[in-house]
Structure 1
Amino acid sequence: MFIAGLALGAFVAAVSAQTMTGQFDCEPAGGFTLCQNLWGKAAGVGSQSSTLVGFEGNTVSWFTNWTWANGPNNVKSYANVLSTAAQGVQLSAIKSAPTAWSWQYDAKSQGIRADVSYDIWFGKAASGQPASSASSYEIMIWLSGLGGIQPVGSQITTATPIAGHTWNLWKGPNANWQVLSFVSSTGDITDFNVDLKAFFDYLVSSQGVASTQFVQAIQTGTEAFTGSANLFIKNFTVSINQ
């Protein structure tokens, strides 16, 4: 598997050319799109930049630096990559959805409030923008949640085993969609290698999600609340097999 530190010299030009600072800046990154998405910046003060390190095949590496203050319970940003290939497939047609994500905080302040998470969108149609009128469900998978932050809604399960890990599941409404958030019950998972189909199957069998729903988008990144951090995504990959 491609690791960002390997063959770094090949990406020096890309790094200098593709550091983003604007609120909604995006850049193509092979089979992904890297976006700043500082959608909640008005709730605090601070700044954030995101940089593409490189990509190879269906794997991408990037990092984001941020400092945010005020509004401790408000998300300031969701710097993320969105897969441009793993989308548009009905849940009932998915045979597997392998993913691997290796990440680390190169630096972080004390008292940081942030999560590192998947943001997966389901809808009744094969296509649709995340967080839009086309969204039926927002499925989050928190590999890290620091500073006492909580997902939307309330906790409905404790230490539920899925895909070799245990999760506390939270559920609640947001706009016109339902949010279901799997939060690691054992702390940070910095090397994650699973089949997302295990989560999809659980949602269909135990949470009333219809198998006719489509995976409209798979994003991964970090929701920043307050503090400062340098988050390095060493490598990330995802695919959907029918």
Structure 2
Amino acid sequence: MQHRRPRPSKKTKALTATVVALAAAAGATVAQAGEESKKCTAFDTVTLGKYYVNNNLWNQEKATGGQCVWDNSRSGSTISWGTDYSWANSGSGKDYDVKTYASSVLGWHWGWKVDKATTGLPIRVGDRKPVQTAWDFSVSANPGTMNVAYDLWLHTKNTADWQDQPTDEVMIWLNRQGGAGPLGTKYGSVSLGGAMWDIYQGDIGWKVYSFVRRTNTTRAALNLDDFTQALVRRGLLSDDKYVSGIEAGTEVFKGTGRLDTEAYSVNIG
């Protein structure tokens, strides 16, 4: 099953470099409003330290329904947040179309919403900086078609802004439900982080590489540099590219469900 990735919309491009003042010093726990203060408008965001949660409804014109996000907490570089949704196809919408990708964002997403200096990005692939990430979550799809995945954006320069289309996108699928499948065709497989992954490659105006875990999980402790280096070794990605953005969330094709992130962090270097 194939899906297309988002092209920048006017609302996405409108992200600014506004720095949101934090209510506590770095490293302190910041209590948040939680599920009772859901944000349900397309491209609503919640800033959590160096990250922000984005209600990215980039393809909602192909569906009827809705989706919300909310924040729970932040402690240092670890955040907790959630999303729930209910979507059905409408108009030209098909089962294989991804409708939304509510996600946490670190760094670039057609611009910089959080002060760039706080994100640790971009990083040059060839510099081999470790990108340690941990993600504990629960997921339900009743019924539905969706995945839970990381999404990395890459550019040829370290000064990418809202107008710069990525050259490469790297997805890392941890969990999929209802027959969800990646873009493109299978290239091969690799063992990373204690699991086997099938590698897919496609092209939608930029290269898309998807690592699909052979067995579902709801917990990850990965070095994302291992995945970009797996592509470098296969001659699929050049090591002079820059990782500009790192996202983590759920792509929804259709159905009703939710994703609850109990703890999520990314630490670079």
Q: TM-score, normalised by structure 2?
A: 0.79
The correspondence for 2:223, drawn from 182, 192, 195, is 195
**Letter of the structure 2 residue corresponding to residue 61 of structure 1:** S
Report the CA distance between 1:15 and its aligned residue: 2.1
Write the mapping of 1:109-120 to structure 2, written as runs, cut at 5 A: 109-110=142-143, 112-120=144-152
What secondary structure, in the 3-state scheme, does the structure 2 residue paired with 1:125 have? Answer: coil
**Letter of the structure 1 residue corresponding to residue 150 of structure 2:** Y
State the match for 2:102 in structure 1: 79
Q: Which ranges in structure 2 are unaligned for 5 or more consecutive residues?
A: 1-29, 108-118
Contact 1:152 1:174 in 2 (8 A): no
1:184 aligns with 2:218: no
State the match for 1:153 in structure 2: 184
**Residues 36 and 60 of structure 1: is their aligned pair in 2 closer, same or farther, counting only changes over 3 Å?**
same
1:171 aligns with 2:205: no
1-structure distance, mates of 2:36, 2:142: 28
State the match for 1:108 in structure 2: 141
Contact 1:119 1:218 in 2 (8 A): yes
State the match for 1:65 in structure 2: 84
What secondary structure, in the 3-state scheme, does the structure 1 residue paired with 2:165 have? Answer: coil
**Residues 139 and 16 of structure 1: is their aligned pair in 2 closer, same or farther, counting only changes over 3 Å?**
closer
Report the CA distance between 1:134 and its aligned residue: 3.2
Identity %: 28
Q: TM-score, normalised by structure 1?
A: 0.88
- Provide the alpha-carbon RMSD of the alignment: 1.9
What secondary structure, in the 3-state scheme, does the structure 2 residue paired with 1:204 have? Answer: helix
2-structure distance, mates of 1:86, 1:120: 14
Q: What is the number of residues matched between the two proteins?
A: 226
Q: Which ranges in structure 1 are unaligned for 5 or more consecutive residues?
A: 1-9
**Letter of the structure 1 residue corresponding to residue 104 of structure 2:** V
Q: Deviations over 1:79-132 (max 9, x none)?
A: 001114142111112331111001102x4303x1001000001110114358x6
Report the CA distance between 1:17 and its aligned residue: 7.5
Deviant stretches of 4+, over 4 Å = none
**Letter of the structure 2 residue corresponding to residue 99 of structure 1:** T
